[in-house]
Amino acid sequence: MLNLTLKGVEVFMERSKQKNQDSYWDNYDLLIWKENPGGFTNVKGIFRKDSWGIAERIPVNNNGIWKLPKHYVKYFK
């Protein structure tokens, strides 16, 4: 897990922007949306940017830290 503060999350959001991926805020939760036609039938599916995708929600903990899964490390190299 990557433990990120607010500044770290902002850096992640800038570096991870791609044509088929986007990250945005939902209150204090970080949502990472990836374009995927299967999002239409998926429980985590969201319609965004004129296409379906699947969103991964990363909540903030009581200490103000967001815990991102390890597969997002590539955006910090």
Q: How many whole angstroms separate alpha carbon 58 and alpha carbon 18? A: 19
Is 20 inside a domain boundary? yes
Is 37 inside a domain boundary? yes
**Confidence at residue 74, expressed as pLDDT on a 0 to 100 scale:** 87
Is 39 inside a domain boundary? yes
Is 73 inside a domain boundary? no
**% of the chain with per-residue pLDDT over 70:** 100
Split into its structural domains, the chain has a count of: 1
pLDDT at residue 77 greater than cutoff 80 = no
Is 41 inside a domain boundary? yes
What single-letter DSSP state applies at residue 26? E
40: how many CB neighbours lie within 10 A of its CB? 12
Question: Token pair for residue 9?
Answer: 């999350």
Tell me the pTM.
0.88
Q: What domain range is 59 assigned to? A: 2-68
Q: How many whole angstroms separate alpha carbon 22 and alpha carbon 49? A: 10
Is 51 inside a domain boundary? yes
Q: Element (H or E) spanning 72, and its range?
A: none
pLDDT band with cut points at 50, 70 and 90 for residue 60 = very high
Q: How many CA atoms lie within 13 A of 74 on its CB side?
A: 4
- 67-76 pLDDT, tens digit per residue, is 999 998 888 7
Is 75 inside a domain boundary? no
- 7-18 pLDDT, tens digit per residue, is 999 999 999 988
